Amino acid sequence: MNNGVLLFVYNNRDIDYARSAIIAGFLANTNLQVPVSIITDESTIQWMKQSDIYQHAEKLFDKIIYTERSTRLNYRNLRNGGLEKKPVLFLNDNRCKAWELTPYDRTLLIDSDFLIYSDRLSEFWNVDSSVLISSAMKDIRGDRCGYHDRYISDTGPDLRWATTVMFSKDQESKVFFELVESIKDNYQYFSDLYSFLPGQYRNDISFSIAHHMMSGHSSSLDYFLPPILTVQDLDSIQDIDKDFVRVYINDPITGQDNFLCNLKNTDVHIMNKNALIDNFDKFERFL
Partner 1 sequence: MNFGYLIFVNENEDVDYLKLAYLLAISIKVTQKEGYDRVALVTNNKEKVSQLSSPWVFDEVIEFEREEEGWNPRSWMDRYSPFDYTVCLDSDMIFFRDYSHWIDSLIGSNLEIFLPSSAYTYRGELICDDFYRKTFTANSLPNLYSFYTFFKKQSSIREEFFNLGRWIINNPNDFKNIFLPKKMPKVVGTDEALSLSAKILDIDKIITLDNNLIKIVHLKPMIQNWPWPADEVFDHVGFYFNLEGKLKIGNYQQNQILHYYKKDVITDEIVSIMENKIWKK
Residues that bind partner 1 (CB under 8 A): 147, 154-158, 193-194, 212, 216-219
Q: Are 40 and 48 in contact (CB under 8 A)?
A: no
Paired residues of 167 in beta bridges:
107, 131
Task: Tell me whether residue 30 or residue 220 sits nearer to partner 1 (CB atom).
Answer: 220
- Tell me the closest approach of the beta carbon of residue 193 to partner 1, in angstroms: 7
- Tell me the closest approach of the beta carbon of residue 213 to partner 1, in angstroms: 9
For 55, residues 6+ apart whose C-beta sits below 8 A from its C-beta are: none
- Tell me the closest approach of the beta carbon of residue 194 to partner 1, in angstroms: 6
Task: Tell me whether residue 143 or residue 281 sits nearer to partner 1 (CB atom).
Answer: 143
Task: Tell me whether residue 156 or residue 252 sits nearer to partner 1 (CB atom).
Answer: 156
The Cα–Cα gap between 91 and 71 comes to 8
- Residue 182's H or E segment, with its range, is helix 171-185
Task: Tell me whether residue 4 or residue 157 sits nearer to partner 1 (CB atom).
Answer: 157
Task: Tell me whether residue 83 or residue 193 sits nearer to partner 1 (CB atom).
Answer: 193
- Tell me the closest approach of the beta carbon of residue 186 to partner 1, in angstroms: 15
The Cα–Cα gap between 111 and 129 comes to 21
Nearest by Cα to 62 from 27, 37, 92? 37
- Tell me the closest approach of the beta carbon of residue 158 to partner 1, in angstroms: 8
Paired residues of 16 in beta bridges:
none
Nearest by Cα to 226 from 152, 104, 93, 127? 127
The Cα–Cα gap between 135 and 142 comes to 16
